[in-house]
Amino acid sequence: MQQLVIASNNAHKISEIKALVGDIELLSLKDIGFTEDIAEPFHTFEENALAKASAIYKFCDKNVFADDSGICVHALGGAPGVDSAHFSGERDDEKNLQKVLAGLKGQEDRRAFYKAVICLVWDGEVYYFEGICEGKIIEEKRGEGGFGYDPIFIPDGYDLTFAELPLRVKNKVSHRGKAVMKMVEYLSPALSEGEGEVE
């Protein structure tokens, strides 16, 4: 089975991705003995994803991918965007989500989209895969599942938040689900031939 390191310490992201990668053996940062935080100092998802993936590639010399993601709210000028993880100034999902709700108080335009960019380093070559999920921000939290902004986000075509929908449904329509499926599709020739090479 092909091994692929996932350059993330976010347990929620990892369990979502595990449900999608099928025949790939995912290795965590713990599995490869990487114990530090990985810096995300840039202003685009692409640059941050590349920074995370290449830091881990340098550390272990194995095929690796990183996801950088966030939510972009139209009426907030695209914020929190790349700053989604610490929008309130802290890495605190509840405070971050409350800051979005406060920013949208009285606002009619509640459109938002989640974006995920995956950077894959495979045999030393760099590839990107992107996923976007359009939807809207509701006025109060609903649901217990998911993480981050999921209790206030309803994807287009549904009446339930990402925190209310089953993971199977979230993975089908989510930004991360779409980006991961593109990566898995891209890798499938290498995975089925077991040669570790991508055309």
Residues that bind ligand IMP (CB under 6 A): 10, 40, 68-71, 84-85, 96, 114, 146-150, 162, 174, 176
Q: Which is nearer to ligand IMP, 115 or 191 (by Cβ)? A: 115
Among the listed residues 23, 31, 37, 68, the single catalytic one is 68
Instruction: Indicate the residue among 10 and 188 with the shorter CB distance to ligand IMP.
Output: 10
**135 versus 148: smaller Cβ distance to ligand IMP:** 148
Show the 3-state SS of the chain: CCEEEECCCCHHHHHHHHCCCCCCEEECCCCCCCCCCCCCCCCCHHHHHHHHHHHHHHHHCCCEEEEEEEEEEHHHCCCEHHHHHHCCCCCCHHHHHHHHHHHCCCCCCCEEEEEEEEEEEECCEEEEEEEEEEEEECCCCCCCCCCCCHHHEEECCCCCCCCCCCHHHHHHHCHHHHHHHHHHHHHHHHHHHCCCCCC
Reply yes or no on whether 159 is catalytic: no
Shortest CB 148 distance to ligand IMP, Å: 2
Minimum CB distance to ligand IMP smaller for 56 or for 191: 56
What is the closest distance, in whole angstroms, from the C-beta atom of residue 197 to ligand IMP in the complex? 29
Residues that are catalytic: 68
